[in-house]
Structure 1
Amino acid sequence: MSEATYRYNVVMTCSGCSGAIDRVLKKTEGVTSHDISLDKQEVVVKATIPYEDVLAKIKKTGKEVKSGEVVA
């Protein structure tokens, strides 16, 4: 699968929340890069794995994902 970019709106209240997502994404095979913005409540992920797989990893942290989209 070629690389795609996904954007998720995730409810994060502190650096601990963004840190939990950061740790999970770092360990996820197929994620080539990610950017987490606590201010924007946004997680942008570049990956070679399907959108749903990344979504499941983020949800596994216990954070609420309000919405998401495939950007590119």
Structure 2
Amino acid sequence: MSEHTYKFDVKMTCGGCSGAIDRVLKKTDGVSSYDISLEKQEVLVKGTIPYDDVLEKIKKTGKEVRSGVTVE
């Protein structure tokens, strides 16, 4: 299965917001790496997991996902 990179525009207002996303992504199968930028309101996720599955995981934290794209 090939690896993909997804970029999400997520509304995060504090370290608790980014921490919630961090906790969810680090225990998600199929995610090889991720980067959460509170300043840019951006979450980059790399892995073999399908786009919709990552989107659902982030939405489960209660954060608003404004947009998301597949980078590669």
Question: Which category of TM-score, normalised to the shorter sequence, fits these structures?
Answer: over 0.9
Partner of 1:19: 19
**Structure 2 unaligned residues grouped into runs of 5+:** none
Partner of 2:31: 31
For residues 8-51 of structure 1, give each alpha carbon's deviation from its aligned partner in whole angstroms, at most 9, with x where no partner exists.
Answer: 00000000000000000000000000000000000000010100
**Structure 1 unaligned residues grouped into runs of 5+:** none
Give the CA RMSD over aligned residues: 0.4
Q: Secondary structure at the match of 1:53?
A: helix
**Equivalent residues, number:** 72
Partner of 1:64: 64
Displacement of 1:66 after TM fit?
0.1
TM-score (structure 1 length as normaliser): 0.99
The percent identity for this pair of structures is 75
Displacement of 1:71 after TM fit?
0.0
Partner of 1:3: 3
Ranges of 4+ aligned residues in structure 1 off by more than 3 Å: none
Cα distance in 2 for residues equivalent to 1:24 and 1:50: 15
Partner of 2:52: 52
